[in-house]
């Protein structure tokens, strides 16, 4: 079909205020159209997924694999609620058995131990406090923007999609 025929057909179809694509018979043209639509649609879908999301907090233990572990479009914080227990276990593994040897060990390695454990201790303590604040009753839990909680999901994008679907249904 010549371009003039396509344009005339397109004008006739769109004049009825119904958006219908002209019939494309060539498989090559279908593939090109599909590729073009995907090129435009996929980034738009990704943008819509994160639209309005500013902060995501994940509450989990060390055995749970959380994905992704970083985010560019929103603030992502992962709290490991068993961090304090893990720090205690790690310290106890390295402590000598006698009291005198343990004191000597701590005097010698105190600065290194503080550097290693401080971030984990702060993360664990903050996570426990926030979990209580949000009244979370199990893990894994993902809190989106401080208002929506998704339980049992370790994929942050999946949790965000669930929240966005719920928000869309409420509108």
User: Is the pLDDT higher at 168 or at 28?
Assistant: 168
Phi first, then psi, for residue 76 (nearest 5°) are -115, 125
pLDDT tens digits for range 91-147: 888 888 899 998 998 899 899 888 988 999 999 999 999 999 999 999 999 999 999
pLDDT tens digits for range 5-55: 444 444 444 444 443 444 445 565 555 444 454 444 444 444 578 888 999
Domain range for 41 is: 3-50
Q: In this structure, are residues 128 and 83 in contact, taking their beta carbons and an 8 Å threshold?
A: no
Q: Do 77 and 133 belong together in one domain?
A: yes
Tokens of 39: 């090129």
Q: How far apart are CA 92 and CA 102, in angstroms?
A: 10
Q: Do 129 and 103 belong together in one domain?
A: yes
Report how many domains make up the chain. 2
Q: Do 84 and 161 belong together in one domain?
A: yes
Q: Do 64 and 45 belong together in one domain?
A: no
Q: Do 88 and 27 belong together in one domain?
A: no
Q: Do 39 and 79 belong together in one domain?
A: no
């Amino acid at each position: 079909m010549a371009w003039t025929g396509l344009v005339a057909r397109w004008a006739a179809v769109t004049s009825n205020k119904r958006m219908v694509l002209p019939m494309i018979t060539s498989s090559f043209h279908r593939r090109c159209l599909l590729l073009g639509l995907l090129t435009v649609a996929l980034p738009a879908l990704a943008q819509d997924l994160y639209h309005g999301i500013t902060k995501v907090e994940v509450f989990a233990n060390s055995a749970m694999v959380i994905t992704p572990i970083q985010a560019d479009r929103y603030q992502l914080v992962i709290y490991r609620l068993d961090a304090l227990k893990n720090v205690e276990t790690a310290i106890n593994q390295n402590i000598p058995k006698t009291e005198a040897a343990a004191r000597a060990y701590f005097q010698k390695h105190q600065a290194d131990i503080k550097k290693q454990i401080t971030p984990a201790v702060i993360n664990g303590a903050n996570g426990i406090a926030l979990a209580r604040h949000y009244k979370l009753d199990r893990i894994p839990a993902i809190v989106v923007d401080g208002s929506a909680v998704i339980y049992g999901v370790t994929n942050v994008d999946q949790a965000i999609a669930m929240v966005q679907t719920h928000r869309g249904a409420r509108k």
